[in-house]
């Protein structure tokens, strides 16, 4: 019987399996809570000495967090955690003070009203008088002012950013398909998005897709080495990329590729809307 160490238990609890790729490790880190990120960093620091993909993942995490080493990232996360706790403590203190002020007030008698009415309400009376005076002034000015043309307000277009992750001079995109986190290599020279047969089968087994509804056709494609291969074309119902969810995406199921061969082509990028790919700044800008 295989002995299970505390390290194995901690890896299992944090989701850091031995077979994870570098990008998958970074994906686990990015989705973790602040407290869990601190645990992940300490564990990755241990694993980097024996597993190359964990060392590469740590370097990439440093770039994402804009720090130079593990000490810097732990300091940054600890400060953020402390700031959140301070805000929470202040909010609880404010609520306690409000609760203390809500003491039952006895109903004043008629004599008390006559004696204390003005003292208790003079500020309110003054404020109300000023408000009524300003309101009447605005009404009069509107009655006698000339009609104004309707102002034309131009819609300000907001841009949404999707982050690209650089690794070994290439750009990767994190996506989610039916709850499964999937990493694609951005390929601006490819028209079609590609996945593996084993990945497709995961979604068939889960019931997310089926052959009768989502299989579209078979076709020949030229791959990177110049060979022509026959691939099945399927339609994925939905895919989430950053803050955007797109629908009915055609993908080619390529034989003989693994997770590292997943490509995100321009047919999928175009479904995001009016986009601009900024490779130098590692982002895709989407204009609403």
pLDDT in tens, the chain (288 residues): 556 788 888 888 888 887 889 999 999 999 988 889 888 998 898 888 888 999 998 999 999 989 988 888 888 887 776 666 655 655 665 566 556 655 555 555 665 555 566 566 667 657 776 767 777 777 656 665 555 544 334 445 567 889 999 998 999 999 999 999 999 999 998 899 999 999 999 999 999 999 999 999 999 988 878 889 999 999 999 999 999 999 999 999 998 888 878 999 999 999 998 999 999 999 999 986
Q: 159-163 and 165-167 as β-strands: parallel, antiparallel, unpaired? A: unpaired
Closest CA to 259 of 25, 43, 95: 25
Contact indicator for 173, 184 with CB cutoff of 8 Å: yes
H or E segment and range at residue 87: helix 70-101
Q: What are the residue ranges spanned by the domains of the chain?
A: 1-104, 159-287
Cα angle vertex 114, ends 112, 115, to 5°?
A: 65
Contact indicator for 242, 264 with CB cutoff of 8 Å: no
Whole-structure pTM value: 0.51
C-alpha 104 chain-centroid distance: 47
The domain 159-287 having CATH identifier 3.30.530.20: the answer here is no
Instruction: Phi first, then psi: give them for residue 236, nearest 5 degrees.
Output: -85, 130
H or E segment and range at residue 228: strand 228-241
C-alpha to C-alpha distances, 182 to 25, 27, 173, 207, nearest whole angstrom: 12, 9, 8, 18
């Amino acid at each position: 019987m295989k002995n299970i160490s505390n390290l194995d238990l901690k890896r299992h609890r944090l989701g850091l399996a031995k077979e994870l790729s570098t990008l998958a490790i970074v994906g686990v880190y990015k989705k973790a809570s602040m407290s869990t990120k601190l645990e992940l960093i300490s564990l990755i620091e241990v694993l980097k000495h024996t597993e190359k993909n964990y060392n590469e993942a740590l370097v990439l995490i440093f770039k994402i967090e804009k720090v130079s080493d593990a000490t810097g990232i732990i300091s940054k996360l600890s400060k953020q955690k402390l700031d959140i706790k301070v805000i929470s403590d202040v909010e609880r203190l404010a609520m306690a003070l409000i609760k203390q002020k809500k003491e039952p007030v006895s109903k004043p008698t008629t004599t008390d009203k006559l004696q204390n009415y003005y003292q208790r309400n003079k500020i309110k009376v003054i404020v109300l008088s000023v408000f009524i005076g300003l309101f009447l002034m605005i009404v009069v000015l509107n009655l006698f002012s000339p009609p104004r043309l309707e102002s034309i307000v131009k819609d300000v277009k907001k841009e949404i950013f999707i982050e690209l992750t650089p690794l070994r001079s290439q750009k990767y995109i994190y996506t989610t398909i039916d709850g499964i986190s999937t990493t694609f290599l951005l390929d601006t020279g490819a028209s079609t998005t590609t996945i593996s047969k084993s990945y497709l089968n995961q979604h068939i087994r889960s019931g997310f897709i089926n052959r009768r509804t989502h299989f579209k056709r078979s076709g020949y494609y030229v791959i990177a080495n110049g060979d022509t291969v026959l691939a099945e074309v399927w339609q994925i119902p939905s895919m989430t990329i950053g803050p955007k969810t797109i629908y009915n995406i055609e993908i080619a199921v390529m034989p003989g590729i693994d997770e590292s061969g997943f490509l995100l082509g321009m047919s999928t990028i175009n479904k995001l809307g009016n986009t601009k790919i900024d490779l130098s700044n590692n982002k895709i800008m989407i204009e609403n």
